[in-house]
Amino acid sequence: MRRHLLRGVLPSWAIIGRVQFTHPVLRAAHGVFTLIGQAVTLSTSTAGQALTGVFVLTGQAVKLEKATRMAAAAASFVLTGVAAGLFKHYPLIAGTGSFSLTGMAAGFVRSLRLVGSAGSFSLTGIAANLFKTIDFPVGVGSFTLTGIAAGLRHASRLAIGTGSFALTGQATRLLEGHRIAIGTGSFALTGIDATLTYTPLGGNDAFTVLLLHCDGTDASTTFTDSSASAHTITANGNAQVDTAQSVFGGASYLGDGSGDGLTAADSADWNFGSGNFALDARVRYASVSIGGLFGQWASSSNYWVVYRTGGAVLRLLAVSGGSTVIDCQWSWTPSANTWYHVAISRSGNSFRAFINGSQIGSTLTDTDAMPDIAGSLYIGNHPETASLNGWMDEVRISKGTDRGWTGTTITVPVVAYS
């Protein structure tokens, strides 16, 4: 085996024939880099780059193994062959150009990053597969897998900004993917046996009537409702954006427990009636004490609230005309300075609570409707309890759906709702 350092700045490099290389660097700055042969192999390459040129591998058994970087900035990256394969690659990047794998067994195995920003990314073949891949983002371009058995397995992120993501084939599958997300583009699975398993919802949809990402500059009092309802949010007391703590987006809501909180005007969005609904947020206590998380209030005789009581209980309480209508209580003892995903759902007449994806307590039954309260919505505070001394992030109210939270576990989002 021969070891070479190949660089092309303005000219081009071409290796033609039955060849095999162990390259520490494969680079073409403004030119063209080409490997053509029966068994073209790049092994343990630390960089295989084409910056503004073209990177091409062509052959019957084109393989790149343990390459830590193969990038094309504004040009194209192409692998073509009967068994085109990339194994254990860390980034495979096309900036504004295109990335293509074409062949009967085009495969990426244990690739940690496959990125196309404004260009296109394509895998085409009879068995186009991506296994144990960490990141498949696309900015404003497209990502395409086409083949009889196009599959992505153990992928923890499949994301699109404003482009499109498509899997097409007879047995198109995504297995155990933690994130399949789209901004304003499209995600399509087309095939005889198209399957997505263990994939969370996007989260901001037609059922979302309030969504607070709680992002912004430190100490800001501006909170934006990112749902389609776009409710006006008012910060009260010392309620503010805090960049010292967050789950997503680099900031969160902070209240000091002394009358702080967020409010929104009364709306039909808060009138759940007997229908399904779901409430969820990330919560972190500076000190564990009584504190309202969600609720509405018109008077001490007409309100509903979700709060942690002084008796280590997460409680959903609804009062109408001075009488208790719904009272659901689940034992919960949180710790200070720990983020929790807190969720409550109603499905039919069944009420459930979840902490960090696991149901707490029992499923409680109540046939009563939630009262229609003619009062403001409260987040992080409630006049009948107290304000939260701590942080909240990714606050969401969903109406008309239980979000599928009907079992003993739910999927805790690993990214912000979109």
Predicted local confidence at residue 306, as pLDDT: 98
pLDDT of residue 79 exceeding 60? yes
Residues 6+ apart with CB under 8 A from 30: 9, 10, 51, 52, 53
Q: 205: burial class by Cβ within 10 Å (0-12, 13-18, 19+)?
A: middle
Q: Which domains does the chain have, with CATH numbers?
A: 6-196 (no CATH), 208-399 (2.60.120.200)
Q: What's phi and psi for 269, nearest 5 deg?
A: -65, -25
Predicted local confidence at residue 170, as pLDDT: 74
**What's the token pair of residue 85?**
């394969």
Among 121-135, 189-203, 271-285, the minimum mean pLDDT is found in 189-203
Flag whether the pTM goes above 0.75.
Answer: no
Predicted local confidence at residue 294, as pLDDT: 98
Averaged pLDDT of the chain: 80
Work out the pLDDT band at 2, boundaries 50, 70, 90.
very low
- How many whole angstroms separate alpha carbon 185 and alpha carbon 166? 11
Q: 345: burial class by Cβ within 10 Å (0-12, 13-18, 19+)?
A: buried
Contact call for residues 355 and 410 (beta carbons, < 8 A) = no
Contact call for residues 106 and 85 (beta carbons, < 8 A) = yes
Work out the pLDDT band at 199, boundaries 50, 70, 90.
very low
- As a whole-number percent, the residues of the chain with pLDDT over 90 amount to 48
Report the 10 Å Cβ neighbour count for 214: 28
